[in-house]
Amino acid sequence: MQFNQIATSGMVLLGCGKMGSAMLGGWLEQGLAPECIYVTEPHPSEWLRATGVHLNTALPQAPAVALLAVKPQMMGAALPSLQALGNGKTLFISIAAGTSLARLAETLGTNTPIIRAMPNTPAAVGCGISALVGNPQVSLGDMALAESLLAAVGETVRLEEEAQIDAVTALSGSGPAYVFHLIEAMAEAGTQLGLAPDLSMRLARATVIGAGQLAAGSPETAAQLRENVTSPKGTTEAALRVLMNADSGLPPLLRSAITAAHARARELAQ
**What is the per-residue pLDDT across 2-55, written as a single tens digit (0 to 9) for each?**
688 898 899 999 999 999 999 999 899 888 999 999 999 999 999 999 999 999
pTM score: 0.90
Average pLDDT, the chain: 95
Per-residue confidence (pLDDT) for residue 62, from 0 to 100: 94
Domain boundary among 163, 185, 213: 163
Nearest to 125, CA basis, from 26, 17, 216, 51:
26
**Structural domain contains residue 168:** no
**What is the per-residue pLDDT across 119-152, written as a single tens digit (0 to 9) for each?**
999 998 889 999 999 999 999 999 999 999 999 8
Per-residue confidence (pLDDT) for residue 113, from 0 to 100: 98
**Structural domain contains residue 169:** no
pLDDT of 1 strictly over 80: no
CATH number for the domain harbouring residue 124: 3.40.50.720
Domains identified in the chain, total number: 2
Q: How confident is the model at residue 97 (pLDDT cuts 50, 70, 90)?
A: confident
pLDDT of 115 strictly over 60: yes
**What is the per-residue pLDDT across 65-80, written as a single tens digit (0 to 9) for each?**
999 999 888 898 999 9
Domain boundary among 163, 188, 210: 163
Spatial distance between the Cα atoms of 243 and 136, rounded to a whole number of angstroms: 44
**Structural domain contains residue 170:** no
Residues 154 and 215 placed together within one structural domain of the fold: no
Per-residue confidence (pLDDT) for residue 4, from 0 to 100: 84
Mean pLDDT of 91-119: 95
Domain boundary among 140, 163, 186: 163
**What is the per-residue pLDDT across 220-237, written as a single tens digit (0 to 9) for each?**
999 999 999 999 999 999
Residues 29 and 105 placed together within one structural domain of the fold: yes
Per-residue confidence (pLDDT) for residue 170, from 0 to 100: 96
Per-residue confidence (pLDDT) for residue 2, from 0 to 100: 65
Spatial distance between the Cα atoms of 96 and 19, rounded to a whole number of angstroms: 10
Per-residue confidence (pLDDT) for residue 108, from 0 to 100: 97
Q: Where in the sequence is the domain holding 154, given as residue range(s)?
A: 4-163
CATH number for the domain harbouring residue 254: 1.10.3730.10
Residues 44 and 74 placed together within one structural domain of the fold: yes
Percent of the chain at pLDDT > 70 equals 99
